[in-house]
Amino acid sequence: MTRLFDTLSIKSMNLKNRLVLPPMRCGKAGSNGEVTDDLIQHYLNLSDGPGLVIIEHTYIADGGRSQGQLGISHDQHISGLSKLTNAIHSKGVPTVLQINHVGSMAVSKVIGAQPVGPSAIVNPRNADKEMPKAMTKTEIEEVVQAFVQASIRAVKAGFDGVEVHCAHGYLNSEYMSPLANIRQDEYGGSPENRIRLATESVKAIRKVVDKDYPVFCRFGARDCLPSGLELPESSVMAGLLVNAGVDVLDVSGGMGGIEPLGEKPQGFFVPEAEALRKATGATVIGVGGIIDPNFADEAISKGRVDLIAIGRGMLKDPTWCKNALATLAIKS
């Protein structure tokens, strides 16, 4: 029986346990997206205990950024990111970089241009309620190449893997959602078309990284909004992403954000992760307000998920993972 404290190998990456620090924006990046000493210290404080650290969403293009976000859009970002990976590796923990284009979540006063999206539909999570410009096919191709270049930079900076962001109402999530994508071309309509930007990006990334280099996907399994994306369609999309080269599905919410509406039981996205694990055969990360080590261990031992992400619990108590593993070791 597999337990929370057991090791796991994902291609070239070896994890000492099944606990993950999920990507959570800390607001400590510099004004040009650079790594700061405060940001490095933040991650050092959280790197004692988990088997894997995933770094917060990092913009791949200057036109796809938000205020105070970490950047990987230029080679000048590599040196600072290398300092970050070296610091985390000093704790004996591998680290993955989440790469992202925020799409219509951007605001013009930050990017100096009109935000873009799959269609001219206001993003419900955009506080400024700006109308985005529907992307041209040339702009779509540019985004794919931006994901590729960001992945190349991530490898140079020493990250052990990359995570393509397809959740939380950002660009890939918008393309996936019927709430934001009403395109009539090959990037709209069917689930196969609405996931095309993401699958093209993953396929292109796989061509420039080593075959044993892990590629993750932060995946919005359902929009958590009325008439939005639901599991039947997202299961098809997840399968196409795995076929394109995704190794790990980091399962979360879509256009509605990081948590569902209404009641939020512990592990609120674990059922979706379990369903996608069965549907695709991929390694999956379960998440959702998990605070009980026994719940986390049981989700692993019952084969519902392969990894458990602890976000708020780690922010509140950086020793959560160490304490949880010690508690479980005593009980076993």
Q: Where are the domains of the chain?
A: 8-331
Number of neighbouring beta carbons within 10 Å of residue 182: 13
pLDDT digits (tens, 9 = 90+) for 210-235: 999 999 999 999 999 999 999 999 99
Over residues 280-309, the mean pLDDT reads 96
pLDDT of residue 262: 66
Q: How far apart are CA 17 and CA 131, in angstroms?
A: 44
pLDDT digits (tens, 9 = 90+) for 87-145: 999 999 999 999 999 999 999 999 999 999 999 999 988 878 899 999 999 999 999 99
**Catalytic machinery residues:** 170
pLDDT digits (tens, 9 = 90+) for 244-276: 999 999 999 999 888 767 677 888 999 999 999
Q: How far apart are CA 181 and CA 21, in angstroms?
A: 31
Q: How far apart are CA 316 and CA 21, in angstroms?
A: 13
Mean pLDDT of the chain, nearest integer: 95
Cα separation of the two ends of the chain: 12
155 closest CA partner among 260, 257, 2, 13: 13
pLDDT digits (tens, 9 = 90+) for 131-190: 999 999 999 999 999 999 999 999 999 999 999 999 999 999 999 999 999 999 999 999
Element (H, E) at 194: helix 191-194
Pseudo-torsion of CA 146, 147, 152, 154, nearest 10°? 120
Location of structure tokens 């606990």 = 19
Over residues 195-204, the mean pLDDT reads 98
The listed CATH number (3.30.230.70, 1.10.150.530, 3.20.20.70, 3.40.50.300) that belongs to domain 8-331: 3.20.20.70
